[in-house]
Amino acid sequence: MDLLDRMRTGDTVALGRLISRAEAGVDEARGALAAIYKSTGKAHIVGITGVPGSGKSTLVSRLVQAIRTDGRRVGVIAIDPSSPFSGGSILGDRIRMTDLVLDPGVFIRSMATRGATGGLAGATLAAADILDAGGFDVIIIETVGVGQDEVEIARLADATVVVLVPGMGDDVQAIKAGIMEIADVFVINKADLPGPERLEREIKAMQSLSTRKDGWVPPIVRTVATENQGIGEILAAARSFLERGNRKDRAVANWSLRLREMLRERLLHRFADVDFQAAAEEVASRRNDPYTIIDGWIRRISN
């Protein structure tokens, strides 16, 4: 039985191997990925991103536990290198990770593919598809920060949760643009610290400045993950968003962008060995012209 068949029978070892293969290079794994794609689309993919120190990893652990009490299977893809799911620090965390790790209804996978062929977004997308086809009901993608990679990954998720903490001050301003774009649900974690009201006011002020195309106003949920407070409210907020029924529209819009991106990656992959610096020196010194150089490159893929 090959990996695909084994994965379909619920073999999580086979599933893990498929993810490793996709992680090593989406290009090489694309036969398998193409084969499973039609079995995907059943799972809910939830992206969770937050600044370092926001307690996001504890929050994710609590969410996994809460989803498991419903009996649903959960996959976690951890991209944050400081996440305990990625083998990072778990100091002070009261959750017994082993409970999650030993639960066959939970599959945890860390990705260390920054700079990998096809990019982090491509490898994460592939891992999410594999978990989806493997019968997981909810897939959580955990990232840190709100940089370009996170925007890319939010594009893959059906819903994106952004975790903030009180007392961030000007940081909210600094990450404003990125956050406004990707958050479907805001979480103010560590809400027992001073200042959750101020942070909530700041988020609302940002929200008042622009309206989303889909009309959704991302709810703001206060949580104390270490005390298991507010976890159900996050799930309820995400469910409200997912149940609005425009998931298909979002998927089409996302795929329209993703396909361009994948095409670009595949094309540039063909030029991975081009020495742009040497070519730039030829052009700058007028030994060659840019048009002739580009023509030469294009000819490499035209035959």
Q: Assess contact for 52 and 144: CB atoms under 8 A.
A: yes
| CA–CA separation, 141 and 157 (whole Å) | 8
Q: Which residue of 170, 256, 272, 273 would you call a contact of its own copies, by CB under 8 A?
A: 256
CA atoms 213, 202, 188, 49: torsion sign: positive
Answer yes or no whether residue 87 interacts with its own copies by CB under 8 A. no
Q: In this structure, are residues 219 and 186 in contact, taking their beta carbons and an 8 Å threshold?
A: yes
The amino acid present at 203, given as its one-letter code, is I
20/173 with CB nearer its own copies: 173
Site residues for its own copies, 260-299, by CB under 8 A, read 260, 262-264, 266-268, 271, 276-277, 279-281, 283-286, 289-295, 297-298
Cα separation, 26 vs 33, whole angstroms: 8
Closer residue to its own copies, CB minimum distance, 38 or 213: 38
User: Which has the closest alpha carbon to 63: 228, 237, 243, 239?
Assistant: 228
Closer of 40 and 240 to its own copies (Cβ) = 40
Number of residues near its own copies (by CB under 8 A): 46
In the stretch 13-32, what mask flags binding to its own copies with x, by CB under 8 A? -----------------xx-
Q: Under the criterion CB under 8 A, does residue 209 sit at the interface with its own copies?
A: no
117 binds its own copies (CB under 8 A): no
SS3 142: strand
Considering the complex, state which of residue 23 and residue 142 has its C-beta at the smaller distance from its own copies.
23
Sites for its own copies among residues 26-65 (CB under 8 A): 30-31, 33-34, 37-38, 40-41
Nearer to its own copies, 127 or 224 (CB): 127
Note the helical H segments in the chain: 3-8, 12-24, 26-37, 56-69, 97-102, 119-133, 148-154, 171-174, 176-182, 196-209, 231-242, 247-269, 276-284, 290-302
The span from the CA of 98 to the CA of 88, in Å, is: 14
Q: Does 210 bind its own copies (CB under 8 A)?
A: no
Q: Which two tokens stand for residue 246?
A: 């425009």
Q: Report how far residue 180's alpha carbon sits from residue 185's, in angstroms, rounded to the nearest whole number.
A: 10
Site for its own copies contains 205 (CB under 8 A): no
Residue 101 vs 263, nearer CB to its own copies: 263
φ/ψ (deg, to 5) at 89: -65, 140
Query: In angstroms, rounded to a whole number, what is the distance separating the alpha carbons of residues 149 and 151?
Result: 5
211 touching its own copies, by CB under 8 A: no
| 5 lies in the binding site for its own copies (CB under 8 A) | no
What is the smallest separation between the CB atom of 198 and its own copies, expressed in angstroms? 22
Backbone angles phi, psi at 183, to 5 degrees: -75, 125
Please give the residue ranges that form the binding site for its own copies (CB under 8 A).
Answer: 30-31, 33-34, 37-38, 40-41, 248, 251-256, 258-260, 262-264, 266-268, 271, 276-277, 279-281, 283-286, 289-295, 297-298, 301-303
